[in-house]
Amino acid sequence: MKKGKLLRTLLITLSFSFILAGCSNGTANTTEKTQTTIVTSFYPMYIFTQNLVKDIPGVKVENMTEPQQGCLHDYQMVPADLKTLERADIFVINGAGMEAFMDKVIKQRPALKIIEASKDMKLLKDANGEDNAHVWVGISDAIQEVKNISEGLAKSDTKNAEAYRKNASDYVKQLEAQREKMHKELDGFKNKNVITFHEAFPYFAKEFGLNIVSVVEREPGTEPSAGELAALIDKIKSSKVKILFAEPQYSAKAAESIAKQTGAKVYLLDPVVTGEKNAPADSYIKTMDENLKVLVKAFKENQ
């Protein structure tokens, strides 16, 4: 009799264990199916995508790289990046050659949905004849990238397609208003000759009529040789350019050294490539507002 009771108790316990296990697995699977994880390659793509997923339940955005990483031209992926991509349903990249590691991503995750923000856009060339990837720095080009990301998300996550498109429409209106505001304040200046420290601003220059007379470093960290530096100083003196834009992401010491030898003045212009972790969705517009203040000051002082 005792043996029979013991057997029944054991069977009941096992039954409850299977039921609980089944419930647990069912819950996990449901969560997995309803959650969409979008991973972005770096800071500006994160900001744009944040605006597009606003208020959409079950959609999460993660940035793969640290927000202070900056441009990804020569970036080497680390194990943490691959771990982040393992969680991704969709990967949003800038494209245009910015993410040089994409072959590795495709090899690791061949079925991963990839959205290229600069797809089918007309790209400017750098001094070496290669595509300039800093598309997002020009506001009109940023608007097109936002539209491209939105359409990519709508096709990849069809149940939320209309929400992505509505959010894109709202954000594009904000970007258009910022562009109009900047044109209103900048278009009246006649002398817009400038020197930039890197190749980050051609799209921005095209947008607002800046004339980039020369670039100090074609790539961050590739300092000009003594001969190149001397030629640059001569060019600045002969062209009488008084505005030298450095970037807050890099040391301004070299720019200040050039300024001392040429009489140019150093100002900081931000290519919106770095920012705080979990940066708010309006970060791009706020940075452009700061850039506007810098530009107005620089042009007023050097007309």
242 against 14, higher pLDDT: 242
The SS3 call for residue 266 is strand
- Of 135, 149, 144, 130, nearest to 271 by C-alpha is 135
59: CB partners within 8 A, 6+ apart: 35, 36, 38, 53, 157, 160
Mean pLDDT of 85-113: 95
Q: Which residue has the higher pLDDT, 146 or 73?
A: 146
In terms of Cβ atoms closer than 10 Å to its own Cβ (0-12, 13-18, 19+), residue 65 is buried
- For residue 36, the Cα-to-chain-centroid distance in whole angstroms is 20
Domains in the chain, CATH or no CATH each: 35-183 (3.40.50.1980), 185-301 (3.40.50.1980)
| DSSP H helix total and E strand total for the chain | 10, 8
Convert the pLDDT of each residue in 201-222 to its tens digit: 999 999 999 999 988 876 666 6
Are 125 and 131 contacting, i.e. CB atoms less than 8 angstroms apart?
yes
Cross-strand bridge partners of residue 294: none
Q: Which residues contact 132 (CB under 8 A, 6 or more apart)?
A: 96, 123, 124, 125, 126, 199, 202, 203
Q: Per-residue pLDDT for 11 more than 80?
A: no
DSSP state of 153: H
| Pairwise CA distance, residues 102 & 108, whole Å | 10
State the residue for tokens 């074609």.
Answer: 218
Q: How do residues 161-197 score in pLDDT, each as one tens digit?
A: 999 999 999 999 999 999 999 999 999 999 999 999 8
Helix spans in 35-101 (H) = 43-52, 79-86
